Structure 1
């Protein structure tokens, strides 16, 4: 797979945030080797919004686990911001995971007995940050996803879309350099999915690098780059020159609803 080079405005070569070379991951069932990744090469550049696609069992979720330092490769290299992640100790991996990477999952993974604000603060608690600074950062993160007024509500008092916004705020609160989203719209209806993609696109416009896994082609169409996996390999890596704009689509849908409402009342 051909790797793209990028150049900064000052003429210096830019370096990828994520670089993997010949990444291999095998699982073992007794004496049987089950290959999940078979020599993946990929660069992800700062500020990209990338969709990973492919059928179940294609290797994309395994790849995301390796990128997120939730697992270690059997072989190959993984550089995150120039740091050789594949050479780090378990404690060093945990530090990279906590400070450099934000996670968003399909099932939200919020603690039901905590408020939205407390859920967002939780990663900072693990970092032993003072309470006042934790609260300040959590409030900023909730504001970014449009939920500042719901800060004291518990997950059970929120819709699925609102819970996913809280999960995104929690992923942002540590100021990560990389956001990994595994099927972030998988449990949401189509309109709420567009709203979540709107938030991710806005974060990307602010400079955050985002890699997301999706089975849905319409969700991938919001991303400028689409990488397809099959049988543990990258089989295509394409640029989408005209990604959909979620905020424009939401405005269009809202205007249509208003017009329909006028017809009903007229």
Structure 2
């Protein structure tokens, strides 16, 4: 029997299509996620991959209840959280965290790094948990007095990770968090995430459009196409024997370096 931390059953998400809003009356509904079911095992990394418009970011935001499900059921650690009110969700917020794609826009430029990490803890920057979070992500404790604009993109993303893990969550959604980084910084952040999953016992949903990144980090992968899951396989099996044409297209789009190529 599997040990699932999170189970998603028959999930639908519809939003108002503002591009087709009439002069009078409500805008037509646009379906973003279409009858999705899967589970996320404890202390594992699930990759969520798909092209632009596939619904992967909406899925991630739904998992942390920033988007309201239209239908279906979300079961987190045995509890139905599908339609919990904000007040009822509040105790769960520290167990379910989100790391945003763009750390520069997600970090308050007026706050020091220490205050940014301390904010969800409702603590002072001198709280030992702030220094501990910096240690976990490989940043010097002295960075607590710096501001976001003083850090590189990779360092800012580490701050975003530090803020997410400061509350010691059980589950984190990482939404395209390495897509804006150079190759070297990507590799460092992926290694950091893998170590945090192991050391802190985290469960991670990692969203990306890049299967080569998914391959380095994830245990299992679901492939989204226009809001539907078209493939759900262990990562090794996905790369050796994909079952869907769309997955094969994504695999074929992965660039292969050619050392003989001269620029």
**TM tier relative to shorter chain:** 0.7 to 0.9
**CA displacement at 1:94 relative to structure 2:** 3.6
Residue 226 (structure 1) aligns with: 221
Residue 110 (structure 1) aligns with: 107
**CA displacement at 1:80 relative to structure 2:** 0.8
| Worse-superposed segment, 83-92 or 197-206 | 83-92
Aligned residues: 225
CA distance in 2, matches of 1:235, 1:70: 24
SS at structure 2 position matched to 1:24: strand
Return the TM-score normalized by structure 1: 0.80
Q: CA offsets, 1:82-103, max 9 Å, x none?
A: 1101131122124322x11122
Q: CA offsets, 1:46-79, max 9 Å, x none?
A: 0111110011111111111110110210111001
Q: CA offsets, 1:195-246, max 9 Å, x none?
A: 0101100011121111111011211111121110112111111112499xxx
Residue 147 (structure 1) aligns with: 139
Matches within 5 A, 1:114-129: 114-125=111-122, 129=123
Return the TM-score normalized by structure 2: 0.81
RMSD in angstroms over aligned alpha carbons? 1.8
The answer for unaligned runs of 5 or more in structure 2 is 18-25, 239-263
Residue 211 (structure 1) aligns with: 205
CA distance in 1, matches of 2:207, 2:194: 15
Poorly superposed stretches of 4+, deviation over 6 Å: none
CA distance in 2, matches of 1:143, 1:89: 35
**Contact 1:51 1:226 (8 Å CA) reproduced:** yes
CA distance in 1, matches of 2:101, 2:69: 24
Alpha-carbon spacing, 1:20–1:242, altered in 2? closer, same or farther (3 Å): closer
